Amino acid sequence: MYHATFSDEQQAVIKMVRELMLEQVSARTVEVEERGEFPHWLAELFKRYDLFGVAVPEEYGGIDGLVVTEVAVLEQMARVSGACSMILGVQCLGSAPIVLFGDDAQKERWLPRLATGEVMGAFALTEANAGSDVRAMTSRAVPGDGGWVLNGRKVFISHANIADVVVYFAKTKAAKGEEITAFLVETDCEGFEVDKIEHKMGLRGSPTCSLVVENVFVPAGNVLGSVGQGLGVALETLYKTRIASAAQALGVAQGALDIVATYVKEREQFGRPLARNPVVQAKLGRMITQVEAARTLIYTAAARYDDDQGDKARFSSMAKLFASDTAMTVTTDAVQLMGGYGYMVEYGAEQFMRDAKVFQIFEGANELHETGIAREFLRGGT
């Protein structure tokens, strides 16, 4: 079992996060959802417990830089609240491109502060007409005096309204046609504006924003990776963060399972607890198995990523696909098993069901993962 491979230090972190979420966060998850704003108090709490360090390697002030630690922490956070887990999840998404592609100066400038949470990151790839088809983006960067001038608009960017630095993808001119380049854009620069915050089905404590860059000047030193390497920066980032996203979906499924397991033992109908009804047991048995299968696949994907096994594209896709579908099925079944009470905010299950949906959509819609997994396999994977 993957648990056996956790070091004492990792186990201590996981236990600490579980306790922190239960003792200081669980009572406030409905409030976070109803306010629909970034919960700054929670980011402060995560700072105090050094949890942003999960996003960054040890040499830059992080915990251990391992994906397996990152996913274990995110699972425990999402088990209590999907939105609350996004605080760390998006920090990982904003930090990963710098970890993977930053030069020494960029790493020294940003990573230590991303590790403490003093600086918050975001990742701006999606545009109104360039979602699954990222190559269709129309954001453009042209050479300026000692750097680049960016113009464009992004949609659905998590936490752009609270981020200090955004990894922004734009088209640049190439020898033949255009390529994509990644830029580090500081959000306090002139011309950067967040002009819309979406109202959403779930994850409401995690703001999803539209942003505009209008003649934003970016110094040459803020190109991440090399000019034209942007698609590689995006994909390599997503190979890592899809495993993290899968772990959040897993946490959401486990959170619903926790609630329903307690409920069916207490709720009596037809003279006995629902838990003793064989139909209820059969449904629960399937849910428990799906959750455990998702967990095994996720921790396998994380361990293979950390061991550099060379199959991260396929394993991250499989983990994300299976965990998000599991989260949707298990949370829906949890609401069903709780009847009318499952539908009520007070009981907590409906929140997990609303949160689950987006994991099938973001970090690549699941349909693209299905075909991508098949293509990788047919190319000669095992």
Ligand X SMILES: Cc1cc2nc3c(=O)[nH]c(=O)nc-3n(C[C@H](O)[C@H](O)[C@H](O)COP(=O)(O)OP(=O)(O)OC[C@H]3O[C@@H](n4cnc5c(N)ncnc54)[C@H](O)[C@@H]3O)c2cc1C
What does the binding site for ligand X look like in residue numbers (CB under 6 A)? Answer: 123-126, 131-132, 156-158, 200, 203, 208, 358, 361-362, 364-365, 367-368
- Residue-level length of the chain: 382
Dihedral sign computed on CA atoms, order 335, 338, 340, 343: negative
Residue 151 DSSP code: E
Minimum CB–partner distance for residue 4 and ligand X (Å):
34
Q: Which residues contact 350 (CB under 8 A, 6 or more apart)?
A: 335, 342, 343, 344
Residue from 70, 127, 350, 363 carrying the catalytic annotation: 363
d(CA 22, CA 24): 6
Among residues 10 and 360, whose Cβ is nearest to ligand X?
Answer: 360
Which tokens in the block code for residue 104? 């020494």
Can you tell me the distance from the alpha carbon of 83 to that of 203, in angstroms, rounded to the nearest whole number?
A: 4
Beta carbon nearer to ligand X, 126 or 139 = 126
Q: Which residue lies nearer to ligand X by CB, 205 or 255?
A: 205
CB of 132 to ligand X, least distance (A): 3
Contacts of 46 (CB under 8 A, 6+ apart): 52, 87, 88, 117
- 305 secondary structure, DSSP code: H
Burial readout 325-363 (b: 16 or more C-beta within 10 A, e: otherwise): bbbbbbbbbbbebbeeebeeeebbbbbbbbbbbbbbebb
Taking the complex as a whole, the smallest distance from the CB of residue 249 to ligand X amounts, in Å, to 13
- Locate 100 and state its tokens: 């993977």
Q: Which residue is nearest to ligand X (CB)?
A: 131
- Decide if 198 is catalytic: no
User: In whole angstroms, how close is the CB of 158 to ligand X at the nearest point?
Assistant: 3
DSSP 153-166: EEEEEETTTT-SEE
The answer to whether residues 205 and 39 touch, using CB atoms and an 8 Å cutoff, is yes
The radius of gyration of the chain from alpha carbons, rounded to an integer in Å, stands at 21
Q: Which is nearer to ligand X, 246 or 338 (CB)?
A: 246
For the residues of 26-84, what is the DSSP string, one character each? GGGHHHHHHHTS--HHHHHHHHHTTGGGGGS-GGGT-S---HHHHHHHHHHHHTT-HHH
Least distance from ligand X to the Cβ atom of residue 28, Å: 21
Give me the least distance between CB of 222 and ligand X, in Å please. Answer: 18
Q: Measure CA 130 to chain center.
A: 20
Q: Taking the complex as a whole, how short is the minimal distance between the CB of residue 358 and ligand X, in angstroms?
A: 5
Using an 8 Å Cβ cutoff, are 29 and 84 in contact? Answer: yes
Nearer to ligand X, 251 or 364 (CB): 364
Q: Which amino acid is at 337?
A: L
Strands 140-144, 147-158: pairing kind:
antiparallel
Nearest CB to ligand X, comparing residues 208 and 326: 208
Catalytic residue IDs: 363
